[in-house]
Amino acid sequence: MSQTPISFEFFPPKTTEGADKLRITRRQLAQFKPEYCSVTFGAGGTTQDGTLNAVLDIQSEGLAAAPHLSCIGSSRASVAEILQRYRDNGIRHIVALRGDIPSGMVDVGEFRYANELVAFIREQHGEHFHIEVAAYPEYHPQSASAEADLRNFVNKVNAGADSAITQYFFNADAYFRFVDEVTARGVKIPVVPGIMPIQNFNQLNRFSEMCGAEIPRWLKLRLQSFGDDSASIRALGLDFITELCDRLLTAGVPGLHFYTLNAAGAVSTICQRLGR
């Protein structure tokens, strides 16, 4: 079980203090020997420099880094420039995403879907980059239907994706069903579960409503019942997420990808409980 690869996601810090805090977080998490660390990328490239700086910091610490690259609102020329910058800096791993359309954006750019970005990366750089894409076990909130969402995922794989990371979920059966459905459509790439620790109920509830991740009713009501008792929220969250990870690992998933929110505490505890 301890041999299953794990990886961590961070977001680019906006301040010097945030950058210092993230370095401490990475040092604390490095003990778990992550396969790589990914760094998010703002819609329309709003954090492009921050993503590159964070990725270079990660590499300088001896860890593999995988920048996110979202294509909505971007031109082919601007994406080509970013890819070349990453390649020039020794990056071999990209998380290719459509990205959310920023509010008020009229021009969505030259890419409409993530499969177009995947195809563009392959066209420009061949096999240089390992391309990771997103998967949605409970379906993307903006998809026209469950079938359309599965089709979109298959399109990304057929365009040249090497592996996928899921949106976080709290129902393991949703993940298993998704993998069965895409496998039946000919998908053979690894689909790695995305794991979100539970630490702040209001924040988690807000995130989940935006991204379409369903919090089981019993869990939502139990977390709500704790009110401002953050210690009880964290304790239940640690137990629940550890059990979820344990079930996934027992089933033989190809890895676990933790959404850290730039904090080490909960992720460290879960990894330790899993025997890392």
Helices (H) and strands (E) in the chain, counts: 10, 8
177 in Cβ contact with 137 (< 8 Å): yes
Task: Examine the residue annotation and report whether 181 is marked as an active-site residue of this protein.
Answer: no
- Of the candidates 50, 95, 35, 91, which has an alpha carbon nearest to the alpha carbon of residue 69? 95
d(CA 13, CA 53): 10
d(CA 146, CA 140): 8
Residues 177-206, buried b or exposed e (16+ Cβ, 10 A)? ebbebbeeeebebebbbbbbbbbbbeebee
User: Terminal CA-to-CA distance of the chain, rounded, Å?
Assistant: 9
Using CA atoms, how far residue 135 sits from 16, 181, 231, in Å, is: 33, 12, 32
Q: Which of 9, 116, 132, 138 is catalytic?
A: 9
Report the sign of the C-alpha dihedral through residues 260, 7, 45, 204, in that order: negative
SS3 148: helix
Active-site residue list: 9
